[in-house]
Amino acid sequence: MSMESLLETFFAECEELIEALSDGLGRLAAGESGDDLVNAIFRAVHSIKGAGGAFGFEDLVSFAHVYETVLDRIRGCLLAIDAEVLRVITRAADVLAELVENAQNEGSGTPSALAQVRSALEGYAGVAPAAPLHEPSLDFAPMAFEPISFDLDTPESGGRWRFVPDATFYRNGHEPLHIFSHLRAVGDLKVSCDFAEVPSLDGLDPDGSYLVWEIESSDLTEDVIQQTLQFLAGLYELSLVEDTVVIPDVEDQPSRPVSADTPAPAKTANATPASPRATLRVDPERVDRLINTVGELIINQSVIGQKVGGLGLEQNSELLSALEDYRYLAREIQEAVMSIRAQPVKPLFQRMARVVREAAEATGKDVEFVVTGEGTEIDKTLVERLADPLTHMLRNSVDHGIETVAGRAESGKTPVGTVRLSAFHRSGHVVIEISDDGKGLDREKILASAIGKGLVPEDARLSEQEIDNLLFMPGFSTAAEVTNLSGRGVGMDVVKTAITSMGGRVTIATEFGRGTTFSIILPLTLAVLDGMVVSVAEQTMVLPISGIVETIRPARKDVKSVGPQEDVILVRGSFVPVVALGKALGFASPHQSDPTYILVETESSGILALSVDGIWDQRQVVIKSLEGNYGNIPGVSAATILGDGKIALIVDIEAIAQLAASTGSGPCLSEQGIVA
Quick check: 38 and 80 in contact, CB under 8 A? no
**Which pLDDT belongs to residue 645?**
73
- The Cα–Cα gap between 21 and 32 comes to 14
Share of the chain above pLDDT 70, in %: 80
What CATH topology corresponds to 148-249? Answer: Alpha-Beta Plaits (3.30.70)
pLDDT in tens, 399-412: 989 999 999 999 89
What CATH topology corresponds to 528-672? Answer: SH3 type barrels. (2.30.30)
**Which pLDDT belongs to residue 98?**
87
- Answering whether pTM is above 0.85, one says no
Where do the structural domains in the chain lie, given as residue ranges? 3-125, 148-249, 284-342, 345-523, 528-672
CA distances from 53 to 63, 99, 131, 134, 408 (A): 11, 13, 9, 6, 47
The H-or-E segment that residue 652 falls in is none
Question: Is the Cα torsion angle 552, 555, 559, 565 positive or negative in sign?
Answer: positive
pLDDT in tens, 35-61: 888 888 998 898 888 888 878 888 888
Residue type, 264: A
What is 3-125's CATH number? Answer: 1.20.120.160
Banded model confidence at residue 230, pLDDT cuts 50, 70, 90: confident
pLDDT in tens, 348-382: 898 888 889 888 988 889 999 999 998 888 888 78
Residue 209 has pLDDT above 50, yes or no: yes
Residue 490 has pLDDT above 70, yes or no: no
CATH architecture observed for domain 345-523 = 2-Layer Sandwich (3.30)
Give 199-204 contacts, CB < 8 A, sequence gap 24+. 201/140, 201/142
Residue 642 has pLDDT above 90, yes or no: no
Lowest pLDDT segment from 172-181, 240-249, 304-313: 240-249
pLDDT in tens, 454-474: 888 888 788 888 888 888 887
Burial of 616 (0-12, 13-18, 19+ CB in 10 A): middle
3-state helix, strand, coil in the chain (%, to 5): 40, 20, 35
The whole-number average pLDDT for the span 230-249 is: 66
Residue 674 has pLDDT above 50, yes or no: no
Beta bridge partners of 419: 369, 436
Question: Is the Cα torsion angle 446, 452, 453, 455 positive or negative in sign?
Answer: positive
CB within 8 A of 433, min separation 6: which ones? 420, 421, 422, 423, 517, 518, 519, 520
